[in-house]
Amino acid sequence: MEGLSLPTLFFHHYIMTEKEFLKSIGKEDYIFPYFRSKKEALEAVRENGYSLQYCPDSLMDKEIIMTAVKKNGELLQYCPESLIDKDIIMEAVKKNGDSLRYCPDSLMDKDIIMEAIKEDGDSLQYVKPSFFQK
């Protein structure tokens, strides 16, 4: 991150996430010093699920994501869509029905919707009307 002053980095922190910032400067594969391995990322997520948002996509896997969403379903928002599967979504909506809003349309099914509604009836608002026409 040479050439960027501390105030610039500080400013960007509040405008966008670190991942977004790194992507904007062409450094999306940068690995934060405290996440040099999947083991370190998993330990951080076990300690604080919100650490997932700082985990580079290249280190994320199902175990790390499941560990995070078991703590808080809303953490699904920090998962790359390519790594999300029905098991992860189901775990997320069991913890927090509102996490249904982060479910890719291609993975949304009746079981996931029912589980989300069971946890929080208001989560029905995240189901597209076209789903009911199937």
∠ at Cα 111 (110, 115), nearest 5°? 115
Here the tokens at position 43 are 């330990």
Residues 6 or more apart from 85 whose CB is under 8 A from it? 62, 107
Task: For residue range 5-51, list pLDDT tens digits in order.
Answer: 444 444 444 556 666 767 777 776 665 556 788 998 999 999 999 99
Task: For residue range 72-126, list pLDDT tens digits in order.
Answer: 999 999 999 999 999 999 999 999 999 999 999 999 999 999 999 999 999 999 9
Distance CA 55, CA 120 (A): 28
Is this prediction's pTM over 0.75? no
How far from 10 is each of 98, 114, 121, CA to CA, in Å? 31, 42, 39
